[in-house]
Amino acid sequence: MADVKKIFAAFGPILKWNEPLARHTSFRIGGPADAFARPHSAGELAALLRAARGASVPVFIIGAGANILVSDKGIRGLVVSLERFREFSVIGTAVRAGAGLAASALAAGTARAGLKGLERFYAMPGSVGGAVWMNARCYESSFSDTLASVTVLDENFAVATVRVQTSDFDYKKSPFQADARVILAAEFALSPADPRPLRTVMREIERDRKTKGHFLAPSAGSVFKNNRTFGRPSGRLLDSLGLRGRRVGGAQVSPRHANIIINRHRATAEDVKKLIDLMKEEVKGRYGVELDWEILYVGEE
Ligand SMILES: Cc1cc2nc3c(=O)[nH]c(=O)nc-3n(C[C@H](O)[C@H](O)[C@H](O)COP(=O)(O)OP(=O)(O)OC[C@H]3O[C@@H](n4cnc5c(N)ncnc54)[C@H](O)[C@@H]3O)c2cc1C
């Protein structure tokens, strides 16, 4: 810890030491980051990453923390949040959004501007950066469907624009998962539309998420990916085994949705992991298939 403090001493005003990551995850679970930074600009980010690389300090980029389970011991090294990168601009049908902007705010902003293509991401927790990295998918729309290019800080700490096409992406897969580029902003090509039906879609989606209990307790959304070869969504397999409501410590399978685990009361990452193992075992035992984690487990084992 002393070393990390020395390495990043020059970045004092944008750094916190020993920052509990439970404050930065939708699960409200996670031990401390040795150092937690919130840079204001690409230049500041590049300086931080250069210092980290020079001293071999590991780096983790956190979005809104809505798809991660952080270990109880936390994350060693430097955690960087891009929450200050919140630009939003519209030129004609082209939209540019900073990585730290909430995906839901992007959906609302584009709908207000009379642009169609992102409205189904309304009310989905998470940032634009996280949604690009994960290729988030909601109500039959993938984030990659309207993505035209992504502005990144590349592995040499230079700002670069990467043109993308839908075929570069897959279900929950993006090209950014293969390397350490940091997503700074994303550019979308949308189509003009009347804002009123877009507002209706957003209201319906919000209502549906509320019915499924998405906002009743801390969670990280779907625990397991869907897999076409299973013939049914993972939630249905879990539901058929009566897993709703099952508890390990403070973690519980949501009583409203069998593919969501909620932090019922002071759950630890260990509680969640044990519950996930139990769910996997029951599905394997009954159906002979292996469920694949959608949530990402990060941090010190
Ligand atoms: C109630 C609830 C409902 C949800 N519903 C859905 C849903 O319908 N569909 C869906 O797809 N997901 C859903 N999720 C999961 C989550 O909202 C998405 O996966 C979201 O895209 C995660 O974004 P994030 O900013 O929180 O990323 P994080 O969880 O913070 O990070 C996810 C990954 O992205 C990387 N990352 C984040 N930002 C950057 C960046 N700027 N540069 C490089 N790497 C980065 C991180 O390192 C990490 O590996 C739900 C979650 C909750 C809590």
Beta bridge partners of 153: 159, 182
| Ligand 1 shell residues, CB under 6 Å | 26, 60-68, 82, 99, 124-127, 129-131, 133-134, 136-138, 176, 182-183, 214, 219-221, 296
Q: Residues 79-108: pLDDT tens digits?
A: 999 999 999 999 999 999 999 999 999 999
Q: How far apart are CA 40 and CA 160, in angstroms?
A: 18
At 170 the pLDDT is 96
* pLDDT tens column, 243-252: 999 999 999 9
pLDDT tens digits along 49-66: 999 999 999 999 999 999
Give this prediction's pTM.
Answer: 0.97
- Mean pLDDT rounded to a whole number for the chain: 97
Domains of the chain with bracketed CATH = 2-81 (3.30.43.10), 88-198 (3.30.465.10), 215-298 (3.90.78.10)
Catalytic positions: 222, 294
